[in-house]
Amino acid sequence: MRVIKLSAALALAVAAVGLSGCETALKTNVTRYQAMPAPQGQTFIVVPGDGMARNGGLEFQRYASIVAQQLAARGYTPATSTQGANMIVQLGYGVDGGQVYYQSDPFGGYGYGPYGYGGFGFGHTWGHSRFGWGSPFYYGWNDPFWYGGGIDSYIEYHSQLDLHIRQKGTNAPLFDGRAQARSSTSQLDALVPSLIEAMFTGFPGQSGETIKITIPNRPNTQAAHY
């Protein structure tokens, strides 16, 4: 019995590694459409877009400054106001409430597969761990956990960053980009800077192309295509 439980624990640990790997490397899908002009003294300002950026605030200002640094490094000049900007840069971002997945234990004998409950949205998530009651989700008397069994759960979050650049005055589109990722964390301060880095890897990119970019969660490292 002890050997079986140890083997089950090892199997579950291996299953968790697949998601926990996101903690050290964030794999993103980046789609970009662009008609960006070559830098010739154009000025820009970053303004709130959709999602959690909509209301602005100090958190938005932090991420907007990272975008400004990325554009400045490519030869564009930050403006102090919309009146002094040639280009308007809209930054939007967000993360959902999480998707709960149930991982079957091959040693439990129940035959459960991986199930997902919740959804891609900003609703409430429910979870259940065999190591304790962490939420109000109950199975009742037929709960397989009651018998020592075969299911564990983990939560996967979906994050997204949108970047739109428009010519001031004509509102002509110059750049439309979207970066999406899955992770085991919902902390914006960990996700948004990495999504911005992915967006600007190879910026402005080929119009209409979707690429996969891995952003290591380590200082002084470069993004890598995969």
What is the pLDDT, as a whole number, of residue 198?
97
d(CA 55, CA 94): 12
Question: Closest by alpha carbon to 47, among 94, 79, 95?
Answer: 79
d(CA 23, CA 30): 19
Give yes or no for a contact between 30 and 201, defined as CB atoms under 8 angstroms apart.
yes
Per-residue pLDDT tens over the stretch 150-208 = 567 888 999 999 999 999 999 999 999 999 999 998 999 999 999 999 999 999 999 99
Per-residue pLDDT tens over the stretch 50-109 = 999 999 999 999 999 999 999 999 999 999 999 999 999 999 999 998 888 877 655 554
d(CA 37, CA 154): 45
